[in-house]
């Protein structure tokens, strides 16, 4: 991988150039001598260019937490209209009508949605074990698809989704919003400038504290076989008697969900794959356990993983450490941190920080070193040799700590859904298509495989298949 030296110089110049310090850039906010804060410039408002009659009629399949969340985001985009909804719990269909109108068509059979001529696109927000089947059926019926992450429930399901998108040419977007996040794309720009030198490792975590964060979602008092279509819900999962927990808290069970890895590792993979242009790791090992939330679930509440990334044209070989802890007495939090040979990029929800600390070529001597154990005569000889071997380096102005913040009110969710509808209306490239989605889901599902089988898993990131 070539070092983008000129790009790095340009980034440094832009970050600490005299014109910026003089106040020529209106986006600069002075935050003390040791730290500078910049607002990330938002692209032109994509929403304003669509006429209200430039309609995209949508249906939502799966009106749970993410179904309602995705719907409320989508309808903020001009011309996007809800015409139908599907869920297997009667109460959620009733709630859809309460919020969006009594004329909304509702059903418990997603195939009735796909048969409707007035539906242009579907949002799939079901339990994970239905993602591949409904996505494939929808594209084959001529519908564009926005599918919640992870794209698939099992590793062997991904290729069929990728092939169906390629065959049907339908717009397909996986719902992990960091692929469209303004902060991630600013981090990508900085990373590609070479500002942090050679990428060595990535540290990332997404910890939580509390019942809702650990998927102990509320269960309605009227949950029963009379209000829930249990047999349809099970699909290809093992046949078991009705259990409200398995329906409303499905993430806790391997039969329907993908646990920590499928819910949260996928977001983290999506984020730094967007930043680095990586296609994924080739060697994965995960560990963890069920430490606290022993409520009948069969997935861990703590998972740590190590991922080896091979060198590509986009990046050198590096390592990734990833963690999710649902029992974080510190209150929870998340971070993605790229560690390079000359600095770091640290991302939060709404901003990032760049710090530079260039490693000197000379190793130095003295202090916590063997130098003081030499004889006085040898110390003098060593100093003479050292100065000849490592002449003084030319002084270099390092960037102080620089912070970039997204504009107030910015929504990565809006950006991601806007990308989906721009793909439908204008044929714009989709940022998280089926192949990208599988390259994020695959390593996450490999983490599950490693955890449950207690072994290292080898993955082919280019083909998005087990190696």
Residue range 242-278, pLDDT digits in tens: 999 999 999 999 999 999 999 999 999 999 999 999 9
Q: Which value, in Å, is the radius of gyration of the alpha carbons in the chain? A: 25
Q: What share of the chain has pLDDT > 70, as a percent?
A: 90
Q: How far apart are CA 306 and CA 64, in angstroms?
A: 32
Query: What backbone phi and psi angles, to 5 degrees, belong to 332?
Result: 90, 175
Please, are residues 301 and 214 in contact by the beta-carbon 8 Å criterion? yes
Q: How far apart are CA 56 and CA 70, in angstroms?
A: 15
pLDDT at 358: 81
Q: Which residues contact 134 (CB under 8 A, 6 or more apart)?
A: 61, 110, 122, 124, 126, 147
Q: What is the pLDDT of residues 316-358, one digit of tens each?
A: 999 999 999 999 999 999 999 999 999 999 999 899 999 998 8
Q: How far apart are CA 180 and CA 371, in angstroms?
A: 52
Compute the residue count for the chain.
Answer: 467
pLDDT at 349: 85
pLDDT at 49: 66
Strand order in the sheet with 144-148: 105-107, 80-86, 56-61, 121-124, 144-148, 172-175
Q: Which of 161, 106, 417, 127 is nearest to 253 (CA)?
A: 127
pLDDT at 453: 98
Q: How confident is the model at residue 301 (pLDDT cuts 50, 70, 90)?
A: very high
pLDDT at 84: 98
Tell me the three state secondary structure of residue 143.
coil
């Amino acid at each position: 991988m070539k070092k983008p030296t000129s790009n790095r110089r340009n980034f440094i110049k832009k970050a600490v150039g005299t014109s910026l310090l003089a106040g020529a850039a209106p986006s600069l906010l002075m935050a003390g001598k040791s730290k500078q804060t910049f607002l990330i410039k938002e692209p032109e408002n994509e929403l304003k260019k669509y006429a209200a009659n430039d309609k995209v009629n949508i249906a939502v399949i799966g009106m749970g937490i993410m179904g309602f969340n995705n719907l409320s985001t989508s309808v903020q985009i001009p011309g996007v209209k809800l015409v139908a909804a599907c869920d297997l719990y009667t109460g959620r269909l009733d709630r859809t009508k309460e919020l969006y109108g009594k004329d909304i068509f509702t059903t418990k059979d997603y195939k009735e949605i796909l048969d409707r001529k007035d539906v242009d696109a579907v949002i799939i927000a079901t339990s994970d074990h239905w993602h591949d089947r409904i996505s494939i059926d929808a594209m084959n019926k001529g519908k564009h698809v926005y599918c919640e992450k992870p794209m698939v429930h099992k590793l062997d399901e991904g290729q069929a989704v990728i092939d169906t998108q390629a065959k049907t040419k339908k717009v397909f977007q996986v719902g992990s919003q960091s692929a469209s996040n303004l902060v991630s794309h600013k981090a990508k720009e900085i990373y590609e400038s070479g500002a942090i030198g050679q990428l060595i490792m990535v540290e990332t975590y997404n910890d939580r504290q509390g019942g809702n964060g650990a998927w102990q979602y509320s269960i309605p008092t009227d949950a029963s076989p009379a209000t829930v279509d249990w047999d349809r819900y099970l699909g290809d999962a093992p046949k078991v008697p009705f259990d409200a927990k398995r329906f409303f808290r499905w993430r806790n069970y391997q039969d329907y969900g993908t646990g920590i890895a499928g819910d949260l590792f996928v977001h983290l993979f999506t984020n730094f794959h967007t930043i680095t242009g990586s296609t994924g790791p080739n060697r994965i090992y995960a560990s963890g356990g069920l430490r606290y939330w022993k409520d009948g679930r069969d997935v861990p509440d703590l998972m740590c993983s190590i991922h080896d990334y091979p060198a590509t044209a986009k990046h050198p070989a590096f390592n990734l450490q990833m963690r999710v802890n649902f029992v974080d007495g510190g209150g929870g939090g998340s971070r993605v941190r790229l560690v390079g040979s000359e600095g770091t990029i640290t991302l939060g929800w709404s901003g990032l920080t760049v710090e530079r600390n260039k490693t000197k070529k000379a190793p130095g001597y003295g202090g916590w070193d063997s130098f003081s154990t030499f004889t006085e005569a040898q110390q003098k000889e060593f100093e003479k040799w050292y100065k000849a071997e490592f002449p003084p380096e030319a002084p270099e102005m390092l960037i102080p700590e620089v912070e970039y913040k997204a504009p107030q009110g910015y929504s990565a969710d809006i950006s991601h859904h806007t990308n989906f509808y721009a793909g439908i209306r204008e044929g714009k490239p989709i940022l998280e298509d089926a192949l990208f989605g599988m390259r994020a889901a695959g390593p996450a599902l490999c983490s599950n495989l490693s955890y449950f089988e207690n072994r290292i898993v080898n993955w082919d990131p280019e083909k998005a298949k087990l190696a």
